[in-house]
Structure 1
Amino acid sequence: MRLTIFGATGGIGRRLVGQAVAAGHDVTAVVRNPQALTADVRTVTADLASPDPAVLRSAVRGTDAVLSGLGPRGKGEFGIASRGTEAIIEAMKATDVRRIVVISVAGISTIPTPGRPNPPKRDPGMGWFMRNVLSPMAKARLGRHYADVAMMEDLLRDSGLDWTAVGVPLLTDKPPTGTYRTAYGQSVRGGRRVTRADAAHFMLRAIEQPETIGKSIAIAN
C-alpha cells in the first residue's frame, strides 16, 4: 500500500514510518527537516505552518491513504493541527485521495467549537477521578491545543473524506504492547496512558477497517 505520513519526525510519526516500512508499505514522509528522518523512504519537505499547496499535492498524489501525526512541539506552534490538517484536506481533494487517519486527543468531544457549539458536557468514558481531577488539569495546561485539535476534527467531519481520528491520553515511549483498548466516540474507561508505538500500530490498522471511517476512536493501554 502507498502511504503518505505527515509529521513523520514526531513521536508518533517516527513510529508510523518505522512500522509502515517494516510491514512492506511504500512510504512518503512529509517533514519540515529531512535531516531528522533516518528511515530510507521518499521524503517531501514541507512546513505545515505555512504550507505550499503544490508541494502537498505532490506528496499525496497517487497515495492510498494519508496518516497524520501533526501536533505542536511548543507554544509557538499553536494552531498547527487545524491549519495543517486543513491544508492536507485541500491537497487530498485536489488529487482525489480519500482515506485519512489522524492523531487526536481523547475526550476532545467535550470541547466546544464553531461546528459543535454545544457539545456533550461529559465524556461517558471518563471516571470520577479523570473527569474531576486529571481532565481539568490537562485543559488548564493544554486548553489552547485541545481547542485546536477540536477544530481539526470539525474540519474532518466537514471534509467529505473517509476520515478516522485516533484520540490518545498521556503518551509514553515504552515498547509496544499490542494489547491496547479502544472506544468509539468516548474515552477508554480507566485509560490514562498509551504507548506511542501502540497508537501508531492502531492508526495503521485503521486504514483498512471500514468500520472506523467517520469515527473518533480513543485508544489506551
Structure 2
Amino acid sequence: MKIAIIGATGGTGRKVVERALELGHEVIAVARRPEVIPPAERLIIRQGDVFDASSMAAVIAGTDVVISCIGPASNSSPGTVVSKGILNILAANFSPGTVMSEGIPNILKACQRAGVKRLVMQSGIGLSDGKELSAGNRWAMGINRRIFSKAIKDKAAAEYAVQRSDLDWVIVRPSGLSNAAATLSYTAGPSARIAPFRPLPFADCADCLVRAATDEPTWVRKIVNVGR
C-alpha cells in the first residue's frame, strides 16, 4: 500500500515510517521539517503543515491511507512517563496548543479533497471513560484527566471530528510511550483492557498503527486501545 504518515518526525511517527517500510509499503513522510528525515528506498519525503489546510491535500494525493501521528511536542499520552523527560511532558500536556483540534479537521478535509478513504489517528488512552479498565486504573485516569484537562480537551475535539467524518477511520489510543526496544508483543483491539500507565515502546505503537492502516478490517470505525 501507499501510506502517508503525517507527523513523521515525532516519537511515534519516525517508528511508523520505519515499520511501514520494513513491511514493504510505499511511504510518504510528511513533516514541517522534512530535511531531518533520512532518505530510504520506497520513501517520498514531503513538507506539510497541518495548520495549512490548503497544503495537506497535495502532500497526501495518490495515497491509499493516511496515518496521523500529530500531537503535543512530547508525542505522548497525557500525564504518562516517556523518555523525553518529565518537564517536557508536563509542558506539552499543560499547554498542548491546538495541533490536534485544528490539525485533524484539516487532515480530514485534505482526505476528502484527495479522495483518500481511510484514516488512522493516534490519540491517547487518557480519553477512555475507563469502563474497560480496572477499578484502580479508572480512579487514576480520572485524576489524570483533571490534571491534564487542556490536552484531553484538544484530543477529544480531534476524536469527535474523526468520528463524525464519513471516512473509514480507526482511532488508536496507546498507553504511555517510551523509547524501549520493540517487542511486537502487546494487547490491541476495541475496548481492550490495558495498563494505561505501563509504558509501551513507540515501535510497538507504530506497529499497531500500521496494522490499523493496512489490515484489521474489524477495527474500521472503532476506537482501539493498545498497550500491555
* TM-score using structure 1 length: 0.86
Look up the match of 2:195. 190
Residues of 2 paired with 1:190 and 1:61: CA distance?
Answer: 37
Aligned to 1:45: 47
Structure 2: 5+ residue runs without aligned partners? 74-91
SS in 1 for 2:63: coil
Amino acid across the alignment from 1:60: I
Q: What is aligned with 1:139? A: 145
Deviation string for 1:51-102 (max 9, x for gaps)? 141x211111110110011101136551111211111110110121101111
Match of 2:111 among 92, 96, 105: 92
Could you tell me whether the CA contact under 8 Å between 2:65 and 2:117 is conserved in 1? yes
2:174 maps to a residue whose letter is V
- Answer with 78-87 or 186-195: which moved more: 186-195
Does the aligned pair in 2 maintain the 1:181–1:220 contact within 8 Å? yes
> 1:27 is matched with which residue?
27
Q: Aligned runs of 1:35-74 on 2, under 5 Å?
A: 35-40=35-40, 41-48=43-50, 50-53=51-54, 55-73=55-73, 74=92
Give the paired residue count: 205
Shift of 1:35: 2.5
C-alpha RMSD of the superposition: 1.7
- By how many angstroms is 1:131 displaced? 1.7
Identity %, equivalent residues: 27
Q: Classify the secondary structure of the residue corresponding to 1:160.
A: coil
What secondary structure sits across from 1:167 in the alignment? Answer: strand
Deviates more, 1:135-144 or 1:199-208: 135-144
Alignment match of 1:209 (pick from 209, 216, 220):
216
Instruction: Give runs of aligned pairs for residues 55-204 of structure 1, distance below 5 A.
Output: 55-73=55-73, 74=92, 77-110=96-129, 123-132=130-139, 134-184=140-190, 186=191, 188-193=193-198, 194-204=200-210
Contact preservation (8 Å) 1:192, 1:220: no
Unaligned runs of 5+ in 1: 111-122
1:169 positional shift = 1.5
Matched residue SS, 1:58: helix
In the aligned structure 2, how far is the partner of 1:89 from the partner of 1:6?
12
1:107-147 deviation line (CA, Å, top 9, x unaligned):
5143xxxxxxxxxxxx2222222122x31342233211111
Is the Cα–Cα contact under 8 Å of residues 169 and 191 in structure 1 kept in the other structure?
yes
1:159-184 superposed Cα distances (whole Å, 9 cap, x missing partner): 10000000011111111111101241
Q: In the alignment, what sits opposite 1:218? A: 225
Amino acid of the structure 2 residue aligned with 1:67: I
Whether the aligned pair in 2 keeps the contact of 1:17 and 1:39 (CA below 8 Å) is no
